[in-house]
A and B are shown apart, each in its own frame.
Chain A
């Protein structure tokens, strides 16, 4: 049965315990991770190496797996390759029979989860005891893990006590977490000594020596792998690495990314031994490997950092933003590989492409791109009505042109009660939302017909081609005009770029072919015209991000790189040393204007956020507060969709709340059209683009000097 995602989102948002747990966990780990990483020399270099090692290992997979088998078997262990869960299960079943196993201890493994190993073995009549405390709690509560690292983070103390009541037959389980842990230790310790077989996963396997590396804090993995005579280790084919030394890179990155620890309490390098049965599972991984778009999902080392930093995950958790086993943005690709596209199609929509996850992924997986690719395939499964809606939303540039032409009329039709409801129903939109209003004339038209006197030429230095995005052009020409004036006052020669839509809207609807066509058209129009030293400056951060990030997947490498090098966010451009110096000279310094700044998620993902904040802080004439929130929750059309309305409001209200609480009465400013819409629609706050503020200040100071 298809899932009712809107309902699930609503429920999760209203579950106070879950909300508290998610905020506590993701917040704490996020903080510790940032610290642990700041501490690491050459973090970026390490990430690059980690990615390269994984990429090469996946490339040479077959040879490495053969070598691993030889290494393990030379030292008395056994290696079996299992095509799917069925084959893996059959092998374990035979082992159980051969060794007369009745009791099994097991340590948390997503791969075991993936093939339902524990339940299927229990169905054979053997007892399978999970020994990771969090996983055990989830198992007893008959739930699924909600996080890669903290499977039971969604359970409160009282819920855990309830679980203990049933498990240990206690009437009134202790209220002290430490006491509960002590009881669990006792109960499980007996099981370790009694079990005839231990089942673990593996974080990495070394082809050269046959070692298995497992990372943990509790010690249950060591006990599981070593106390029982028979050790079954189940790992996906993607876990193999060539040499022992490759582990150092991951030893530095995995704990830091996962829990913010420099190292976890225990990192074992188990040697192969008689009694080891290493099951190497495919189960859809070869399919991912053969798929050029999804292949990099196999680089994942399951640290969970992408979950903790993801606004959607933070809001609803892994049960909602996830499939049968794998969760979050990386979980869509894994679900597609392991369980098929249909299962992944249920929840890819929760990814807004904000890019916060790619900032923290230790192997730099382009998670938003994986979701875009899946979205485009999932379109094939949808009803014609849905597909039609996607086409309308994804072709914003086309209908916006008509919208602007017919502006007063069209706006009235779209914003009147019946008109709005009709459109909302047809496109699956949230009827409560006000759609943006078309402006007439467009930015392009207004820029062309500006009176001469405004086109100053102060000894033109750097040339700029201003990229005209659809949001600015059709909805907020004022922002574009402000950008033009500011740049020109600084003596920059500005021309409007002859670009078409960047393709962002098409991408967020999964209309890949259309996005590719637009990208090619832009490359064809922009690249040949670019003069030496000229920069393409964009206003809308999500469009800048499309040009700089997504185009890598849409264009041949040379074109993509050509654009990537030359495209800047307008605020990023203003932050360049020479420009910002000129700007500082021109701005008035008395009576600074108070503003509260919300940075765009994609500026953070692209790494321009820091420079922009520094610029705003350093400029005379401004007093800046910033609010730290992962994402505004609108993300283009995401917030307009009925399915995600509740989530979008939840995220947007948090932004509004912070702006009001921490803004100290400053005027809200935000670079993103979506961010400003959220502030306006949910908080009644009139927010402007920072370039509009600069424009205003420059105008004032010029008046003053006349």
Chain B
């Protein structure tokens, strides 16, 4: 099994979904996801594919072409209360547990986009999928040295078992986590 296959499998185990796509297919795929859910707006965190600055305008264009309002995060999250979807990049993926590593400035758009809306779409480059947590931790250390301040490891959607020990998704954070692995 390749790393990507393992990643997709583990992610499914924790209730996330994934698609492995070539770069040109990504904007239409993401636009389609939003359309299916009737999401008219999206919070697009800057730099959705770390290291590929040209990507952001392409994605924005595709989404706007679908009639989706694209907002970029502001310092004040008050306006983001009802936003139905969020798109972020990811610094790394961990195949053995289906985990993503996200990072940025404290209270940055990456945090809000991956936390506030019911749908979180994350893009990760295939070569950033590490076999193990230890490997991904090296990425974390490097990112810190490059100025990324704060991090979150995300493994599946938000969940709770606090009501009568029943597993429920989407407690406080996203109910749906969709990862696009960009090959």
Q: Does B77 contact A (CB under 8 A)?
A: yes
> How many whole Å from B118's CB to the nearest CB in chain A?
10
> Are B106's CB and A261's CB within 8 A?
no
- Identify which of residues 162-178 in chain B touch chain A, using a CB-to-CB cut-off of 8 Å: 162-166, 168, 170-174
Q: Which of A177-185, A394-402, A601-609 contacts B (4 or more CB under 8 A)?
A: A177-185
Number of interface residues of B (CB under 8 A): 42
A28 closest partner in B (C-beta): B165
A220 to B115, CA, bound (A): 9
Contact with B171, one of A150, A181, A245 (Cβ below 8 angstroms): A181
A267 touches B163 (CB 8 A): no
Is B126 interfacial (CB-CB < 8 Å)? no
Interface residue A167 (Cβ < 8 Å from any Cβ of B): no
Q: Which of B111, B168, B170 has the most CB of A within 10 A?
A: B168
Closest chain B CB from A339 CB (angstroms): 26
Minimum C-beta distance from B133 to chain A (A): 6
B101 to chain A, nearest CB (A): 10
| A218-B171, A222-B111, A262-B96 known; A156+B149 contact, CB < 8 A | no
> Once the chains bind, are B171 and A25 in contact (CB under 8 Å)?
no
Of the stretches B22-30, B45-53, B64-72, B152-160, the one at the interface is B152-160
Cα(A219)–Cα(B99), bound, Å: 15
**Residue among B106, B111, B157 with most chain A CB within 10 A:** B106
Which residue in B106, B107, B156 is a CB contact (below 8 Å) of A265? B156
Contact in complex: B152, A271 (CB < 8 Å):
no
Per-residue CB contact flags for chain A residues 214-244 toward chain B (1 = under 8 Å, else 0) read: 0001111011001100000000000000001
Complex Cα spacing A132 to B163, Å: 11
**What's the least CB distance linking A249 to chain B, in Å?**
10
Q: Are A252 and B168 in contact (CB under 8 A)?
A: no
User: Which chain A residues border B163 with CB–CB below 8 Å?
Assistant: 133, 137, 157, 160, 177, 180-181
* Distance between Cα atoms of A15 and B2 in the complex (Å): 51
Taking CB atoms, residues of chain B closer than 8 Å to A218 are 158-160, 171-173
Is A662 interfacial (CB-CB < 8 Å)? no
In the complex the two chains form, is A248's CB within 8 Å of B157's CB?
no
One of B107, B141, B174 near A244 (C-beta < 8 A): B141
Contact (Cβ within 8 A) A245 B172: no
Residues on A with C-beta less than 8 A from B133 are 248, 251-252, 263
Return the chain A residue nearest B171 by Cβ: A218
A209 to B155 CA separation, bound complex (whole angstroms)? 24
Q: Within 8 Å CB of B155, what residues of A?
A: 261-267
B4 within 8 A of A: no
A219 touches B115 (CB 8 A): yes
**With A181-B171, A219-B173, A273-B107 in contact, do A267 and B159 touch (Cβ < 8 Å)?**
no
B115 touches A263 (CB 8 A): no
Instruction: Name which residue of chain A comes closest to B157, CB basis.
Output: A265
A209 CA to B158 CA in the complex, in Å?
Answer: 27
Contact among B81, B141, B160, B174 for A217, CB-based, below 8 A = B160
Chain A residues near B171 (CB, 8 Å)?
133, 181, 184-185, 217-220
Q: Report if A220-B165 is in contact (Cβ < 8 Å); known contacts: A244-B141, A263-B155.
A: no
Q: Chain A contacts of B172 at CB under 8 A?
A: 131, 185, 188-189, 218-220, 222-223
Which residues from A are CB-within-8-Å of B137? 245, 247-248
Residues of A within 8 A of B165 (CB): 21, 24-25, 28, 150, 153
List 6 A-B residue pairs with CB atoms under 8 Å apart, sorted by A's residue number.
Answer: A150-B162, A222-B111, A247-B137, A262-B97, A264-B155, A268-B153
18 additional A-B residue pairs with CB within 8 Å, beyond A134-B160, A265-B154, A266-B154: A24-B165, A133-B162, A134-B162, A153-B162, A209-B144, A218-B158, A218-B160, A219-B171, A219-B174, A222-B172, A223-B173, A245-B141, A251-B133, A261-B155, A262-B10, A269-B151, A271-B106, A273-B106
Please give me the 7 A-B residue pairs with the lowest Cβ-Cβ distance, nearest first. Answer: A219-B173, A134-B162, A219-B172, A271-B150, A157-B164, A271-B149, A219-B158
Which residues of A are interface residues toward B (Cβ below 8 A)? 21, 24-25, 28, 75, 131-134, 137, 150-153, 155-157, 160, 177-178, 180-182, 184-185, 188-189, 193, 209, 211, 217-220, 222-223, 226-227, 244-245, 247-248, 251-252, 261-271, 273
